[in-house]
Chain A
Amino acid sequence: MMANHLNKKLDREEWEISIIDEREKHYYQPGYLFLPFDIYEPEDIIKPIRKFIPKDVHLITEKIKKIDAAENVVRLSNGNFLNYDILIIATGARIAPEEVEGMNGKEWQQSVFDFYTFEGALALRNKLREWQGGKLVVHITEMPIKCPVAPLEFAFLADSYFKHKKMRDKVEITYVTPMSGAFTKPKADTALHHLLEEKKISIEADFAIAELDNENKKIIDWGGREIAFDLLVTVPTNKGDDVIERSGLGDDLNYVPTNKGSLQSIVYKNIFVIGDATNIPASKAGSVAHFEAEVLTENIIRYIKGLPLKEEFDGHANCFVETGNNRALLIDFNYTHEPVTGEFPFAKIGPLKLLKESKVNHLGKLAFRWIYWNMLLKATPIPFVPAKMKLAGKHFD
């Protein structure tokens, strides 16, 4: 995304652009939600990275050993190195089940699954295809996590999936969260609380997991509370990439301390950070990276010209939330404004409804995959959805 932006904006006589990625394939992470329920197939969510890289940009497929920020050098595992004038870190976040005692024990991918990795989502799909029912527990270990609504969407889609398979009466769905409830923002709670009752999803709130007991198939919190499961779908602790730790650039969860308005590293002025790799208090969502990219591109141009950076990123996120039965919600929010009801992108017209279930929103979510591959990665702006969140069309009171 940044390579595509900068390829258009920088003087290519003066600037050389390289991308280092250890993988050859790009995974559409929002698709991991649909894979377990046989809604998407693996080929829907994987494409070669090369396809999205402009021809004048060097793509280096290699693991990074270390970023030596004091020396402006990226050292690769094969012994090669790259000097840089400007570095953009986009190393994302990963799950770290090893952070909870017993989580990646003998039940991992037997009755304990994640859906935040391709392998996890695929293993869960195979499990769900043959599962005969019982206690399904959907669980969040701790915040922050990528796509914070995904576990709730998983619970909603599970309800639909088992209804469709005519076995909903054999499945008990429990949603376990370390927060105070499934919804933590007042407007969302008011507008959406009914969904949990309608779908017969029970909530266990304020549950801070201490341990997973593989023998007795239960999770135990620090206060001694126990929840038994037959099938646990957990979102483990999320952390920034290990290369950030190896390079000494991260906080205790390996996120890079970043200015939340300008996206410049707090410590190194020629390092910029985008997406899940930052520690900024925005959601770790694809739309956030898309909006950040516009602000960041402008700031990199300003940095090159020696101009002061603009602290204009407002934390904007725009997310479709699947609620099952071919319906979805849409939420649009930023650092200062919680999600509210309203119309999007046009006030009074829509056609999308904010914080309300509709079939049109579901079509929007499905269309997003096309937008991702064809617009977002290629740095094409989404029509009518600017980086800065619009207040028009939102019902704040």
Chain B
Amino acid sequence: MTKQIASTTIDVNEEGFMTSFSQWNKSIGEELAKESNINLTPRHWQIIDYIQDEYKKEVPLSIRKIGKSGVVDIKEFYELFPKAPLKTATKIAGIPKPASCI
């Protein structure tokens, strides 16, 4: 399915996660963040850049791994992206949420 956002049409799944990372840009990221009630600060962007890099390298993401990345500790990660930080951050970054095989 598709969705109109930041004057662009993007492909998304049932939960609103983008399905083509190539369609993502920073304006879309900002709009997706607003939908999760987050105003992106430079600190948020550092984390989004990091998880996008990991995604491009096909490295699976986990909260612990982000905590050990040196980019942010887990406590601050929860403060920046409350409740389910990895799910929220990946959604804003335009990449798939961490998933299992089913």
Contacts and interface: CB of A to CB of B under 8 A. Distances in A.
Contacts of B63: 142, 178, 208, 222
B101 A180 contact: no
Nearest to A186: B14
Most B CB within 10 A of own CB, among A99, A223, A317: A223
A74 interface: no
A281 B54 CA distance: 12
A333 interface: yes
Contact of A185 (B60, B98, B102): B102
B102 A188 contact: yes
B68 interface: yes
A11 B78 CA distance: 58
Contacts of B98: 143, 178-179, 184
A260 B58 contact: yes
B102 A184 contact: yes
A196 interface: no
Given A223-B83, A260-B58, A237 B99 contact: no
B101 A333 contact: yes
B44 interface: no
B19 to A, nearest CB: 10
A197 to B, nearest CB: 17
Contacts of B77: 222
Contacts of A206: 83-84, 86-87
Contacts of A252: 65, 68
Contact of A180 (B59, B65, B97): B97
B101 A185 contact: yes
A373 B35 CA distance: 52
B59 to A, nearest CB: 8
A149 B87 contact: no
A184 B97 contact: yes
B101 A142 contact: no
A120 to B, nearest CB: 21
A352 interface: no
Contacts of A333: 101
Contact of B13 (A99, A178, A186, A279): A186
B55 to A, nearest CB: 11
Interface in B78-102: 78, 82-84, 86-87, 97-102
B38 interface: no
Interface string A320-355: 010000000001010000010000000000000001
Contact of B86 (A149, A152, A208, A210): A208
Contacts of A279: 59
B13 A143 contact: no
B92 to A, nearest CB: 15
A148 B100 contact: yes
A178 B62 contact: yes
B62 A210 contact: no
Nearest to A333: B101
B74 interface: yes
Given A186-B13, A331-B101, A180 B64 contact: no
Nearest to A188: B102
B87 to A, nearest CB: 6
Contacts of B62: 142-143, 178, 208
Contacts of B82: 223
Nearest to A142: B62
B65 A179 contact: no
Contacts of B86: 178, 206, 208
A180 B16 CA distance: 13
A321 B87 contact: no
B99 A179 contact: yes
B64 A149 contact: no
A289 interface: no
A222 B78 contact: yes
A178 B97 CA distance: 11
A157 to B, nearest CB: 16
Most B CB within 10 A of own CB, among A222, A283, A319: A222
A227 to B, nearest CB: 15
15 contacts: A143-B100, A149-B100, A152-B102, A178-B86, A180-B87, A184-B97, A185-B101, A186-B13, A206-B86, A208-B74, A237-B64, A252-B65, A252-B68, A279-B59, A283-B101
Given A179-B97, A186-B14, 10 more contacts: A144-B60, A188-B102, A206-B86, A206-B87, A208-B63, A222-B74, A222-B75, A279-B59, A283-B101, A355-B102
Q: Would you list the 3 A-B pairs with minimal beta carbon distance, nearest first?
A: A206-B84, A188-B102, A184-B99
